[in-house]
């Protein structure tokens, strides 16, 4: 697989096959993705990887937390800026509408939409996952550099025949994740990333998000 194919084939996968992915695969992904660039080569990322019995224990313990706190806690950062402007607002809205349309859940079916959202907290059925954290000292630059690692992980996984979904939704469960992995206080949890084999028959994996054309996002001076 070449880089272009990996970039264009990767989608956020939201239904996975019941087929295991173990620590060996997660290590192999990270062993490639660790070559991602970062400003000053600071490599500001901290990665927590979950599979096998660890994943089973995570799911069991999270189940108790979800039962007592179904909506989740306040996030430590704004996932989107409050009052997000155009065109970002409309793009986000369309993405959500297209997602729910793919599985036939209309706007009025609030319960159905919430149940779909809650699947984030089962990694959409994925057998493995990563979580990412940064030292609280780090600023926007280093957050961007962590994003480079995350995308490189997704592309490496793609090459290995695996599918992924980045999941900021886990920001609503940061206390549980911190306790589970023993994440030190000086680190801030950012995001989760589900890893597994895509369920090719699942309608939620059958749609594609759109992208603005080059001339909408770029200014050329030639």
For residues 38 and 52, which CB has a smaller minimum distance to ligand FMN in the complex? 38
Residue 168 interacts with ligand FMN (CB under 6 A)?
Answer: yes
Contact 166, 154 (CB under 8 A): yes
Using the Cα atoms of residue 183, residue 51, residue 22 and residue 200 in order, give the sign of their dihedral: negative
Number of amino acids touching ligand FMN (CB under 6 A): 12
User: Does the footprint of ligand FMN cover residue 51 (CB under 6 A)?
Assistant: no
CB of 148 to ligand FMN, least distance (A): 12
In the structure, how many helices (H) and strands (E) does the chain have? 8, 4
DSSP 120-188: GGGGGG-SEEEEEEEETT--HHHHHHHHHHHHHHHHHHHHTT-EEEEEGGGGGGHHHHHHHHT--TTEE
Contact status: 33 vs ligand FMN (CB under 6 A): no
Please answer whether residues 176 and 110 qualify as being in contact, where contact means their C-beta atoms are separated by less than 8 angstroms.
no
Residue 22: strand, helix, or coil: coil
- Minimum distance, C-beta of residue 186 to ligand FMN, in the bound complex (Å): 22
Question: Is residue 169 a contact residue for ligand FMN (CB under 6 A)?
Answer: yes
Cβ atoms of 164 and 153 within 8 Å: the answer is yes
95 binds ligand FMN (CB under 6 A): yes
Please identify, using beta-carbon distances, which residue of 22 and 161 lies nearer to ligand FMN: 161
d(CA 159, CA 56): 26
Q: Which of 165, 183, 189, 195 binds ligand FMN (CB under 6 A)?
A: 165
Residues 116-155 that bind ligand FMN (CB under 6 A): 120
In whole angstroms, how close is the CB of 181 to ligand FMN at the nearest point?
A: 18
Query: C-beta of 155: minimal distance to ligand FMN in Å?
Result: 12
Residue 216 beta carbon to ligand FMN: minimum distance, rounded to whole angstroms: 16
User: Would the CA dihedral through 165, 7, 52, 131 be positive or negative?
Assistant: negative
Instruction: Name the site residues for ligand FMN (rule: CB under 6 A).
Output: 11-12, 14, 95, 120, 165-169, 191, 209
């Amino acid at each position: 697989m070449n880089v272009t194919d990996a970039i264009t084939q990767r989608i956020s996968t939201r239904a996975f096959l019941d087929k295991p992915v173990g620590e060996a695969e997660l290590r192999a992904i990270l062993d490639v993705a660790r070559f991602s660039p970062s400003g000053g080569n600071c490599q500001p990322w901290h990665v927590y990887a979950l599979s096998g019995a660890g994943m089973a224990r995570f799911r069991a313990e999270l189940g108790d937390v979800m039962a007592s706190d179904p909506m989740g806690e306040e996030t430590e950062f704004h996932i989107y800026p409050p009052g997000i402007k155009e065109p970002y607002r409309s793009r986000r809205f369309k993405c959500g509408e297209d997602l729910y349309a793919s599985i036939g859940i209309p706007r009025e079916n609030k319960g159905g939409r919430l149940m779909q959202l809650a699947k984030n907290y089962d990694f959409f059925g994925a057998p493995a996952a990563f979580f990412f954290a940064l030292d609280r000292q780090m600023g926007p630059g280093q957050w961007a550099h962590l994003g480079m690692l995350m995308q490189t992980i997704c592309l490496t996984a793609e090459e290995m025949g695996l599918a992924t979904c980045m999941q900021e939704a886990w920001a609503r469960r940061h206390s549980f994740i911190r306790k589970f992995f023993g994440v030190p206080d000086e680190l801030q949890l950012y995001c989760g990333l589900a890893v597994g084999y895509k369920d090719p028959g699942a309608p939620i994996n059958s749609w594609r998000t759109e992208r603005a054309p080059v001339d909408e996002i770029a200014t050329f001076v030639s």
